[in-house]
Amino acid sequence: MSAAPDSATKQPLLEIRDLEITFTTSTGPVRGVRTANLEVYPGETVAIVGESGSGKSTTAISIAHLLPKNGSITRGQVLFEGRDITHVSEKQIRALRGDQLGLVPQDPMSNLNPMWKVGSQITEALAANGVAKGAAAKQRAVELLEEAGLPDAKRRAGQYPHEYSGGMKQRALIAMGLAARPKLLIADEPTSALDVTVQQQILDHLDTLTGELGVAVLLITHDLGLAAERAQHLVVMYKGQVVESGPALEILQSPQHPYTKRLIAAAPSLASRRLVSVAEREEVREQAQEHAAGQPSEQANGPIIEARNLTKVFPIRGSVPWRTTPFTAVDDISFSLERGTTTAIVGESGSGKSTVAQMVLKLLQPTSGRVLFEGKDVTTYKGSALKTLRRRVQPIFQNPYGTLDPMYSIFSTIEEPMRLHGIGDAKGREAKVRDLLDKVALPAAMMRRFPNELSGGQRQRVAIARALALDPEVVVCDEAVSALDVLVQDQVLHLLNDLQAELGLSYLFITHDLAVVRQIADRTLVMEKGKLVEQGSTDEVFHSPQQDYTRRLLAAIPGGSIPLAGAETIDVEAPAGPADETVTEHGEGPEDIIDPFSQAGHV
Amino acid sequence: MRSDNRAPQRPKAQHWVAPLDETPLQEVDAADTSSTPRSLWAEAVHNLVRNPVFIISALLILLVLFVAAFPGVFTSQDPTYGNLSSANKPASAEHPFGTTRQGYDTLARTVWGTRTSVIIGFFTMICSTILGGAIGALAGYVGGWIDEIVSRITDIFFAVPMILGAIVIATRLGEMNMWTVIMVLSIFGWTNVARIMRGAVISTKSQDFVTASTALGAGSLTNLLKHVIPNAIAPVIVTATVNLGVFIVAEATLSFLGVGLPTSAVSWGGDISRARDALRNQPMMLFYPSVALAITVLSFIMLGDAVRDALDPKARKR
Residue B21 lies inside a defined structural domain of this protein:
no
- Per-residue pLDDT at A599: 36
Task: Using CA coordinates, name the residue in chain B closest to A391.
Answer: B216
Distance CA B44, CA A492 (A): 32
Q: What is the pLDDT of residues B82-126, one digit of tens each?
A: 778 877 777 787 788 888 878 888 888 889 989 988 999 999 999
Residues in chain A closer than 8 A to B9 (CB atoms): 10, 41-44
Q: What is the pLDDT of residues A257-266, one digit of tens each?
A: 888 888 888 8
Q: What are phi and psi of A534, to 5 degrees?
A: -160, 140
* pLDDT surpasses 50 at B311: yes
Q: What is the dihedral of CA B304, B307, B308, B309, to 10 degrees?
A: 130
Query: Which of A224, A600, A147, A157 minimizes the C-alpha distance to A403?
Result: A600
* pLDDT surpasses 70 at A353: yes
Mean pLDDT over A381-394 rounds to 87
**Interchain contact, B217 vs A421, CB within 8 Å:** yes
Instruction: Point out the residue among B14, B25, B218 whose CB comes nearest to the CB of A420.
Output: B218
Task: Using CA coordinates, name the residue in chain B closest to A461.
Answer: B29
Mean pLDDT over A280-296 rounds to 57
Q: What is the pLDDT of residues A189-221, one digit of tens each?
A: 888 777 788 888 888 888 888 888 888 999 998
**Interchain contact, A44 vs B8, CB within 8 Å:** yes
Give residue A284's Cα distance to chain centre. 30
Mean pLDDT over A486-493 rounds to 85
Name residues 6-35 of chain A within 8 A of B (Cβ): 6-7, 10
What is chain B's mean pLDDT, rounded?
A: 84
pLDDT band of B133, cuts 50, 70, 90: very high
- The span from the first CA to the last CA of chain A, in angstroms, equals 39
Residues in chain A closer than 8 A to B32 (CB atoms): 453
Per DSSP bridges, beta strands A531-537 and A83-84 are unpaired
- E strands along B181-253, which residues? none
* pLDDT surpasses 90 at B50: no
Q: What is the pLDDT of residues A308-350, one digit of tens each?
A: 999 998 887 766 777 778 888 898 999 999 988 899 999 887 7
A172 neighbors A86 (Cβ within 8 angstroms) = no
Give the best-scoring range by mean pLDDT among A269-283, A546-560, A584-598. Answer: A546-560
* pLDDT surpasses 70 at A569: no
Give the count of alpha carbons within 13 A of B197, CB side only.
30
Give the best-scoring range by mean pLDDT among A99-113, A124-138, A265-279, B142-156. Answer: B142-156
Task: Using CA coordinates, name the residue in chain B closest to A388.
Answer: B217
Sign of CA dihedral B44, B45, B48, B49: negative
**What letter represents residue B9's amino acid?**
Q
* pLDDT surpasses 50 at B274: yes
Per DSSP bridges, beta strands A14-25 and A71-80 are antiparallel
Distance CA B263, CA A375 (A): 78
**Interchain contact, B8 vs A4, CB within 8 Å:** no
Instruction: Please work out, in degrees rounded to the nearest 5, the angle formed at the alpha carbon of residue A559 by the alpha carbons of A400 and A566.
Output: 100
Among A223-237, A467-481, A569-583, B199-213, the minimum mean pLDDT is found in A569-583
* pLDDT surpasses 90 at B130: yes
Instruction: Point out the residue among B2, B25, B212 whose CB comes nearest to the CB of A230.
Output: B2
Distance CA B145, CA A220 (A): 49
Q: What is the pLDDT of residues B281-308, one digit of tens each?
A: 888 888 888 999 999 999 998 998 888 8
Between A596 and A49, residue with greater pLDDT: A49
Between A366 and A267, residue with greater pLDDT: A366
**Three-state secondary structure string covering A382-427:** CHHHHHHHHHHEEEECCCCCCCCCCCCCHHHHHHHHHHHCCCCCHH
Instruction: Go through A433-450 and write b for each residue having 16 or more CB atoms within 10 A of its CB, e for each that does not.
Output: beebbebbbbeeebbebb
Residues in chain B closer than 8 A to A262 (CB atoms): 25, 28
- E strands along chain B, which residues? 16-17
Residue B308 lies inside a defined structural domain of this protein:
yes
Residue B91 lies inside a defined structural domain of this protein:
no
Distances (CA, A) of B63 to B69, B109, B238, B244, B279: 10, 17, 21, 16, 28
Q: What is the pLDDT of residues A139-170, one digit of tens each?
A: 889 988 888 888 888 888 888 888 888 888 88
Distance CA A398, CA B294 (A): 51
* pLDDT surpasses 80 at A290: no
- Per-residue pLDDT at B2: 43
Instruction: Go through B226-238 and write b for each residue having 16 or more CB atoms within 10 A of its CB, e for each that does not.
Output: bbbbbbbbbbbbb
Mutate to test the interface with B, among A25, A31, A184, A243 (most CBs of B within 10 A): A243
Residue B111 lies inside a defined structural domain of this protein:
yes
A-to-B residue pairs, Cβ atoms closer than 8 angstroms: 187
- Per-residue pLDDT at B10: 67
Residues in chain B closer than 8 A to A463 (CB atoms): 212
Query: Which of B126, B235, B112 minimizes the C-alpha distance to B179?
Result: B126
Mean pLDDT over A24-28 rounds to 77
Mean pLDDT over A453-481 rounds to 88
- Per-residue pLDDT at B137: 94
Distance CA A554, CA A540 (A): 12
Query: Which of B187, B91, B83, B80 minimizes the C-alpha distance to B132?
Result: B187
DSSP per position, B94-105: SSTT-B-TT--B
The SS3 of residue B13 is: coil
Residue B222 lies inside a defined structural domain of this protein:
no
State the DSSP H helix or E strand holding residue A285, giving kind and residue range, or none if neither: helix A278-293
- Per-residue pLDDT at B59: 94
Distance CA B269, CA B258 (A): 9
The interface predicted TM-score of the complex, written ipTM, equals 0.75
* pLDDT surpasses 80 at A117: yes
Q: Left if phi > 0, otherwise alpha if psi is -120 to 50, otherwise beta: which for A323?
A: beta
Q: What is the C-alpha R_g of chain B?
A: 29
Name residues 556-595 of chain A within 8 A of B (Cβ): 561
* pLDDT surpasses 60 at A299: no
Q: What is the dihedral of CA A133, A135, A136, A140, to 10 degrees?
A: 100
Number of domains in chain B: 1
Residues in chain B closer than 8 A to A258 (CB atoms): 20, 25
Using the Cβ of B213 and the Cβ atoms of chain A, whether some distance falls under 8 Å is answered with: yes
Sign of CA dihedral A114, A118, A124, A130: positive
Query: Which of A134, A169, A131, A127 minimizes the C-alpha distance to A148?
Result: A169
- Per-residue pLDDT at B147: 93
Domain carrying residue B308: 40-68+100-198+233-315
Per DSSP bridges, beta strands A368-373 and A71-80 are unpaired
3-state class percentages of chain A: helix first, strand second, coil last, to nearest 5: 40, 25, 40
Distance CA A540, CA A544 (A): 5
Residue B301 lies inside a defined structural domain of this protein:
yes
Using the Cβ of B32 and the Cβ atoms of chain A, whether some distance falls under 8 Å is answered with: yes
- Per-residue pLDDT at A349: 79
What is chain A's mean pLDDT, rounded?
A: 81
pLDDT band of A124, cuts 50, 70, 90: confident
* pLDDT surpasses 50 at A603: no
Q: What residues pair up with A324 in beta bridges, in sequence order?
A: A317
Describe the crossing of helices B229-257 and B106-142 by its angle, rounded to 10 degrees: 140
Task: Using CA coordinates, name the residue in chain A closest to B11.
Answer: A7
Which residues, in sequence order, are CB contacts of A34 under 8 Å at separation 6+?
A20, A55, A239, A240, A241
DSSP per position, A538-594: HHHHHHS--SHHHHHHHHTSTTTTS-BTTB-----PPPSS---GGG-SSTT-HHHHH
**Interchain contact, B207 vs A402, CB within 8 Å:** yes
Residue B225 lies inside a defined structural domain of this protein:
no
pLDDT band of A225, cuts 50, 70, 90: confident
Instruction: Point out the residue among A246, A395, A600 whose CB comes nearest to the CB of B13.
Output: A246
3-state class percentages of chain B: helix first, strand second, coil last, to nearest 5: 65, 0, 30
Q: Could you tell me the pTM of the whole model?
A: 0.78
Distance CA A86, CA B200 (A): 45
Q: What is the dihedral of CA A205, A209, A210, A212, to 10 degrees?
A: 140
Residues in chain B closer than 8 A to A454 (CB atoms): 31
Sign of CA dihedral A223, A538, A347, A341: negative
Domains and their CATH numbers in chain A:
5-112+178-266 (3.40.50.300), 278-404+472-600 (3.40.50.300)
Using the Cβ of A207 and the Cβ atoms of chain B, whether some distance falls under 8 Å is answered with: yes
CB atoms within 10 A of CB A317: 13
B244: CATH? 1.10.3720.10
* pLDDT surpasses 60 at A589: no
- How many angstroms away from the CA of A42 is the closest CA of chain B? 7
- How many angstroms away from the CA of A40 is the closest CA of chain B? 8
Mean pLDDT over A450-471 rounds to 87
A362 neighbors A354 (Cβ within 8 angstroms) = no
pLDDT band of A293, cuts 50, 70, 90: low
Residues in chain A closer than 8 A to B212 (CB atoms): 395, 397, 403, 463, 466
State the DSSP H helix or E strand holding residue B90, giving kind and residue range, or none if neither: none
- Per-residue pLDDT at A574: 54
